[in-house]
Amino acid sequence: MKAAVWHGRRDVRVDEVPDPVVREPTDAVVRVTSSGLCGSDLHLYDVLTPFMTEGDILGHEPMGIVEEVGSEVEHLSPGDRVVMPFQIACGTCYMCSQDLQTQCETTQNRKTGMGGSLFGYTKLYGAVPGGQAQYLRVPQAHYGPIKVPDGPPDDRFLYLSDVLPTAWQAVAYADTPRSGTLVVLGLGPIGDMCCRIALHQGVEQVIGVDLVPERLERARARGVDVLDFSEHGDVADVIRDKTDGRGADAVIDAVGMEAHGSTAAALAQKSAGLLPKKIAEKLMTTAGVDRLAALHLAIDAVRRGGTISVIGVYGGMTDPLPMLTLFDKQIQLRMGQANVRRWVPDIMPLLTDGDPLGVDDFATHHMPLEQAPEAYEMFQKKADGAVKVILHP
């Protein structure tokens, strides 16, 4: 089969690789029809190079048609239309029973000290081959795959794999009072969807911050009060001006480790990319190489007693943080990978009963899998108005 394969920093190619097969009774094999590109893939494309292995198959936002199931997979049959959560969880362990599927004790990566395995997400998370491919082996398929109805186009359901539950969790963790103000930093697919969900849930004021004109415009068109980060000296001041001088009730950081505006850390990330792999890995896991501009802005822009919901991915082990301010402002900090199955029952009615979140035309680009190299480059450069790119094997 064909698959998008990581070969090195900013080097993704479409290779011929062996077809996956059912190996465990809890496996399924799915023929992939659509597969999203995520901001998290961009970290792998560049900054997280030290954790990648040449030959890794990328992708964690796939959907498709079940081809084959193992003997213990009872809720699926060949021909079913399914969406795979980006994480692999068993559904029965202690963590899964607490709806913390990303911490699944069956798939936890104890050797690397990380949580549950993820599709296409480095050796830290189990080195599981990803879904930007013609076929995907789905471990723990007795629990993971979400069956979706036939009829609407793939785009209606695809985002159940990641974007929708991720944004849903970010908004839930932010816990903004209805009459309050939510600030969303970053208007990529995740931040954009956070804004849509918060507005849909009735949050009175949603302020979105980014610096890419098309992304700002997209959010503005859906009723978000947008701020261009590059036009304001101090965005937190502007936010305070809009909130009686107090700051926002809640801030979502939907930017993560590659924020603009962190010059020193950007340099450190660049240098890490040039070091020998082992040394770079050591640097990444022992030092603070996150670009923290967005998180610092969140800490500044949130009101005293407010909540910061971090959904952007961070990877440094010793990041310096302003603990004095965090403590003194009495800030609640909540974060983590999204627990996909936890939120699916809440989201599904918004997909089967009309399209209030606008998922049908959320993607800006649909491309054949063969063009994965171009897709990665375009998405990273935010060229051609790319916000959400879907690959079709």
Ligand X SMILES: NC(=O)c1ccc[n+]([C@@H]2O[C@H](COP(=O)([O-])OP(=O)(O)OC[C@H]3O[C@@H](n4cnc5c(N)ncnc54)[C@H](O)[C@@H]3O)[C@@H](O)[C@H]2O)c1
- Residues at the interface with ligand X (CB under 6 A): 38-40, 42-43, 162, 166, 185-191, 209-212, 215, 229, 254-256, 259-261, 293-294, 311-313, 337-338
12 interacts with, out of ligand X, Zn ion, none, CB within 5 to 8 A per kind:
none
> Among 34, 56, 35, 36, which residue's Cα sits nearest to residue 45?
56
Question: Would you tell me which residues interact with Zn ion (CB under 5 A)?
Answer: 38, 40, 89-90, 93, 96, 104, 106, 162
CB nearer to ligand X: give 69 or 209: 209
Closest distance of CB 275 from ligand X, Å: 23
Supply the minimum distance, in Å, between the C-beta of residue 1 and ligand X. Answer: 25
**Shortest separation between residue 184's beta carbon and Zn ion, angstroms:** 17
* Cβ distance to Zn ion smaller for residue 68 or 210: 210
Identify which of residues 210 and 300 has a Cβ nearer to ligand X in the complex.
Answer: 210
* Calpha distance 66→18 (Å, rounded): 18
Nearest to 107 by CA among 99, 95, 98: 95
Q: How far is the CB of 191 from Zn ion (least distance, A)?
A: 13
Residue number with CB closer to Zn ion (93 or 302):
93
3 state SS for 288-343: CCCECHHHHHHHHHEEEEEEEEECCCCCCCCCCCCHHHHHHCCCEEEECCCCHHHH
Tell me whether residue 160 or residue 203 sits nearer to Zn ion (CB atom).
Answer: 160
Residue 254 site contact among ligand X, Zn ion, none (CB < 5 to 8 Å, cut-off depends on kind): ligand X
> Number of helices (H) and strands (E), helices first, in the chain?
14, 15
Instruction: Provide the minimum distance between the beta carbon of 38 and ligand X in the complex, in angstroms, as a whole number.
Output: 5
Which option in Zn ion, ligand X, none does residue 338 bind, with CB closer than 5 to 8 A by kind? Answer: ligand X
User: Among Zn ion, ligand X, none, what does residue 90 contact (CB within 5–8 Å per kind)?
Assistant: Zn ion
Q: Whose CA is closest to 96, among 144, 59, 160?
A: 144
* From the list Zn ion, ligand X, none, partner contacted by residue 259 (C-beta under 5 to 8 A by kind): ligand X
Which residues 6+ apart lie within 8 Å of 160 measured at CB?
A: 63, 83, 85, 146, 148, 340, 344, 347, 348, 351
Residue with tokens 């792999």: 277
CA distance 64 to 390: 13
Helix (H, G, I), strand (E, B) or coil at 30: strand
Q: Name the binder of 106 from ligand X, Zn ion, none, CB < 5-8 A by kind.
A: Zn ion
- With left for phi above 0 and alpha for psi between -120 and 50, is residue 132 left, alpha or beta? beta
